[in-house]
Chain A
Amino acid sequence: MLSPAFYLGLFLLVAPWQENVYKTKREKMVSQQIERRGVKDPVVLKAMRTVNRHEFVPADQIKNAYEDRPLPIGYGQTISQPYIVAYMTEVIKPQSHFKVLEIGTGSGYQAAILSAIVKEVYTIEIVPELGRSATERLTSRYKNVQVKTADGYNGWKEHAPYDAIVVTAAAEHIPPPLIGQLKDGGKMVIPVGSSFLTQMLILVEKKNGSTTSRNLLPVAFVPLTRKKTE
């Protein structure tokens, strides 16, 4: 029978190698899926290279963690495609002094990316099971992130106003309390559409009391109409 020391030795031997594999995958993810599609902000790219995405997906999805697609995380929710996470982060033009509110913690990956860039991240998850697991993942390693399991509709009034709000779950209406907790000049980004598709993102901007929206096409736009000869 093999001794526990053998397994420990094997683990110590394999673990760094495994980490290198993930690092290579992350590099590839950033260069092929993110940079190539136009995300340029160096702080965003650095965060995407640093945060271990495979730690935020269910065990049966680890092998797919760095693929160019959203993945199911249970409870009918998904972890967004890496490019969408990077794009949503870049769109709010994050600064190191920013205070950001995230609605829909899900796996916690978006919050982890934000935490590597901004000063404070407040994130709210409505599904208790997801909230619990995200808290476990985030609070030990990402000290500037606070997780709350609650209804995100009313935002997190105690820490308002926010420089930016990232809504990761598609919503059929944008809660007025969230607009209220956005600083003047602040930005809110929200996805629209099926979570399994490359989503349309809406950027909501608040300026001088007026709120406007802008559609952001997350993919390099190729017209949907073509000439017959094509």
Chain B
Amino acid sequence: MKAFFDMHSTPNSADLLSTRLMLSLGILSAAIIAFQLALMQVLSIVQWHHFAYMVISVAMLGFGAAGTVLAFFRQHLLNHIRWWLPLLMISCGISMCLVMYLSQLSFIRFDSYMLFANYTHIGRLLLTYLLFFIPFLLGALAIGLMFDHYVVYIGKVYFANLCGSAVGGLLLLALLWFLFPNRLAAVISCLPVIAGIMIIPGKPQRTKTLRFFALLACIVSGFSIAFPPTLHLSQFKDLSKTLLLPEATLKMERTSPYGPIQAISSPVLRYAPGMSLAAEEAVSASTAMFINGDWLGAVAGYNKADTAFVLHNTSFDLPYKMAPKKTVLVLQAGTGLEVAHALSRNAANIVAIEPNAILIEALKHTLAADNDSLYFHPAVTVRKVEPRIFLLTDTAHYDLISLPMAGSFGGSAGLYALHQQYLLTKEAFLHMWPRLQPAGAISISAWMDYPVRHPLKLAATLAEVLEELNIKQPQQHVAAIRSWSTISFVITKTALTATAIQNIRQFCNQWQFDPVLLPGLQPEERARYHLLQDSSFFQYIDAIFSRDRNALYASYDFNIKPATDRRPYFAQFIRWKNLSHLAANFGNRSIPFFEIGYLLVVITLVQIAVVSFVLVLLPLFRRGWKGKHKGSVLLYFGGIGLGYMFVEMVFIQHLTFYFGQPVYAAAAVITALLLFSGAGSYMAGRFAQNKKAMMRIVMAIIVLLVIYAAVLMPLLQQTMQAVMPVKIGIVLLLTGPLAFCMGIPFPAALSWLARSAASEIPWAWGLNGCVSVISTALATIITVEAGSGLVLWLAALAYCMPLIVCSRWDQEAV
């Protein structure tokens, strides 16, 4: 078999790596990353955000499979590279448009919920995988072909590839401000077409075909931009259901990197969570807002003359009934309902924190009539900032800090299990505490879900926070009341006063709520109006506020331990070891819906692992592995694939916390990692023939990862309040050296293999692709189960594998 990378045949002058070729490669790479992020956005809207993992995996799979195709058809492709390269790039662009149309066809569209109700949707999901796989395969084939043909310049080629990818991340971020997601793919598709046109050869044969194909691609892209596909949202998404309501009217629609926001009004749209059964008046219609097709909140009018504000006869009114609240901090104000609530309770100074600028703008202007110009009220100050960042930078003190409701109505079947909720971690509450007045309080509510999870995790969080604050008698600082469907908690800085306790009792009697936690509470008071099946809920709550807390954590079927900044998954409850017990209780069919979000990641992992085996490794097995470095190739390329993706996933998670937004975090991480890795790869040639230098590089990666595992999160926590330029500098400092080093091993080893064992390169490529595919979902699962620190440790361990190989480099070289 001829070598995959032929180092001995120096490219002739025509094959010299021109700037145009590098630029073309950069543009193609930018398009692939931008398309990957665009697909993530589209799937977040039509389904839910979990499919981000699927997209990352599918992209990686495309790269892995491209290696396999190259291994089989290398000679033919190389012989006609000047024809194939532009053709592949242009095809990649066309396919980006076409797969978007095809994926929205009624017989191909899948639905997350239907995966467990109608098994044909599993086939549709697989079909969608395969569709999305095509542009990545075509793009990766072009990239792989260039890697192969210009292997002498592997560092520069890899540099162009990584830098282009970095630009692609930023490009998409910019596009998200202007384009609705259904147009993104069409606009991005122009890039590979341009990249292809740039390198159409001047005269040789078959150029006419290429030019015709390029023209066709321009027409397809142009048509797609003018007539983008309609995105069909899952019928189970909140927006889909709301649009079915009579006279549902779209009042506003805007897009941003946060996702599209819509405001819908309907005369039958009403919102009054867990309203008292003693309430006699019908609730007025309100406007509802949605983000990515999911419920964001209701916009309620506030009018000083209107004394019956929608939340007055809900358990949410608890903090205002305890004592007057003059200064109120509303964290993650959303649609402003809690701000209006505070105004209706005569708060004199209300600070509303909301990071989404589009949302603030909509409430101030387009929807001003729906909320009675709430954000222009002299008592209200709106701040566009992340709540956690605000807490660290603010110096004021408040009578009340109000948090948004934990969980969503109906439980959403655990779709948000993998939402990183940094506002509901223990650390978040600890950061709120110093912002309270001496008599200040924090309030938060949750739905009484079934089986009960959210209220217990919330109670556990509050109990552990009070314990960490060295509050001697935590029960004296907590009040909780329950309606027929909601529970509201308040924790106070100083012990609850007799007046406050009396006020709470009066409030409960007036609106028929039951106190759950209150100093001096009698057992019979807990279920006067709303009877539960038994007293187990109260026993659990009492256990949480006692020394038995850990025993309850251990024995409860769901994970109710508080979320932390390292494991910020408040809505993640499933404990794998208890699945059989839950299945016995609720039936096998119910299990997926307890935590469909988490389950989807696991399913994605399994499916992608199988598909990558079939598409990447199986063909290679069939072709046979004749080299004598099997173990080394496996260890080396498997190790760097695993390690690199683990690091990327941890950085995305940590920087989501640091910057407050997943989209910005993903863009920052991908851009920084790729740019620095690109710089590293540019220098890779210097290390490729130097065993000691390579070992030093890999050891540096391991050492940095071990250090990061210990200090990364504390360092980010300490510097979160810094101004943006400083934060960006910190991120660059943190990612720069590490990413630079991580950019070296892959091209250096390819170069080494090309010299000594070229026949094993397809295996190296394929293994690297497969492991990268699996590691994206795997990193998430490990983070959920054991925290992000462990993922970094495992990444360090993964890089030990290439270190071992490097140490044996001389002996193995042919």
Contact = CB atoms under 8 A, between A and B. Distances in A.
Interface of A: 60-61, 67-69, 71-72, 74-76, 126-128, 151, 153-154, 170, 172-177, 179-180, 192-200, 202, 204, 210-217, 219, 221-228
Contacts of A72: 113-114, 117-118, 235
A161 to B, nearest CB: 16
Interface stretch (B151-159, B267-275, B395-403): B267-275
B280 to A, nearest CB: 5
A212 B278 CA distance: 9
B581 interface: yes
B450 A193 contact: yes
Contacts of A196: 113, 116-117, 413, 590, 593
Given A173-B271, A212-B277, A216-B533, 17 more contacts: A69-B117, A126-B268, A170-B410, A172-B485, A176-B281, A193-B411, A195-B410, A212-B512, A214-B531, A217-B533, A221-B533, A222-B585, A224-B451, A224-B536, A224-B556, A226-B557, A228-B555
B586 A226 contact: no
B586 A213 contact: no
B413 A197 contact: yes
Nearest to B484: A213
Contact of B450 (A127, A177, A192, A226): A192
A126 B594 contact: no
Given A76-B236, A76-B241, A225-B556, A198 B277 contact: no
A213 B530 contact: yes
B540 A197 contact: no
B449 A193 contact: yes
B554 A211 contact: no
B244 A75 contact: yes
A69 B235 CA distance: 19
23 contacts: A69-B587, A71-B117, A76-B236, A76-B241, A151-B268, A153-B268, A153-B282, A172-B271, A172-B485, A173-B270, A175-B282, A175-B283, A193-B410, A193-B411, A196-B590, A198-B586, A212-B531, A216-B533, A221-B533, A222-B581, A223-B536, A224-B536, A224-B558
Contacts, number: 155
B533 A173 contact: no
Contacts of B240: 76
Given A196-B113, A199-B450, A213 B118 contact: no
Output the residue of B277, B280, B452 with the most chain A CB within 10 A: B277
A180 B235 CA distance: 33
Contacts of B118: 60-61, 72
Nearest to B528: A212
A127 B267 CA distance: 14
Contacts of A61: 118
Contact of A173 (B244, B274, B451, B586): B274
B410 A194 contact: yes
Contact of A197 (B512, B558, B593): B593
A54 to B, nearest CB: 16
B532 interface: yes
A193 to B, nearest CB: 5
B297 to A, nearest CB: 12
Nearest to B529: A212
Closest 6 CB pairs of A and B: A200-B450, A173-B275, A213-B484, A151-B268, A211-B277, A194-B413
A219 B585 contact: yes
Contact of B277 (A177, A179, A192, A223): A179
B277 A221 contact: no
Contacts of A153: 268, 270, 282
A216 B530 CA distance: 11
Contacts of B594: 197
Given A173-B275, A199-B450, A227 B555 contact: yes
A217 B448 CA distance: 13
Contacts of A69: 117, 587, 589-590
B430 interface: no
A136 B558 CA distance: 44
B306 interface: no
Given A197-B586, A198-B590, A216-B533, A228 B554 contact: yes
Interface string B287-303: 00000000000000000
Contacts of A175: 282-283
A202 B485 contact: yes
A225 B281 contact: no
B409 interface: yes
Contacts of A172: 271-274, 409, 485
A38 to B, nearest CB: 13
Contact of B484 (A67, A174, A210, A219): A174
A78 B331 CA distance: 35
Given A76-B241, A212-B530, A213-B277, A202 B556 contact: no
B281 A213 contact: no
B468 interface: no
A103 to B, nearest CB: 12
B122 interface: no
Nearest to B543: A225
Interface string B522-534: 0000000111111
Contacts of A194: 410-413, 593
A222 B585 CA distance: 6
B279 interface: yes
B536 A176 contact: no
Output the residue of A170, A193, A194, A200 with the most chain B CB within 10 A: A194
B246 interface: yes
Contacts of A222: 581, 584-585
B245 interface: yes
B218 interface: no
A67 to B, nearest CB: 8
A204 B277 contact: yes
B362 interface: no
B712 interface: no
B590 A197 contact: yes
B280 A176 contact: yes
A16 to B, nearest CB: 29
Contacts of B274: 172-173
B552 interface: yes
Nearest to B554: A228
Interface string B232-261: 001111001100111000000000000000
A223 B234 CA distance: 35
Contacts of A221: 533-534
Contacts of A170: 409-410
A93 B519 CA distance: 39
Interface string B554-565: 111110000000
Contacts of A176: 279-283
B286 to A, nearest CB: 12
Contacts of A126: 244-246, 268
Contacts of B279: 176
Contact of B589 (A68, A174, A210): A68
Contact of A198 (B410, B412, B584, B587): B587
Nearest to B120: A60
A197 B277 contact: no
B268 A225 contact: no
A225 B558 CA distance: 9
A174 B536 contact: no
A154 B283 CA distance: 11
Contacts of B245: 126
B555 A225 contact: yes
Contacts of B593: 194, 196-197
A177 B410 contact: no
B587 to A, nearest CB: 6
B193 to A, nearest CB: 39
Contacts of A199: 450
Contacts of A197: 411, 413, 586, 590, 593-594
B598 to A, nearest CB: 15
Given A154-B282, A204-B277, A217-B533, A226 B555 contact: yes
Contacts of B451: 224
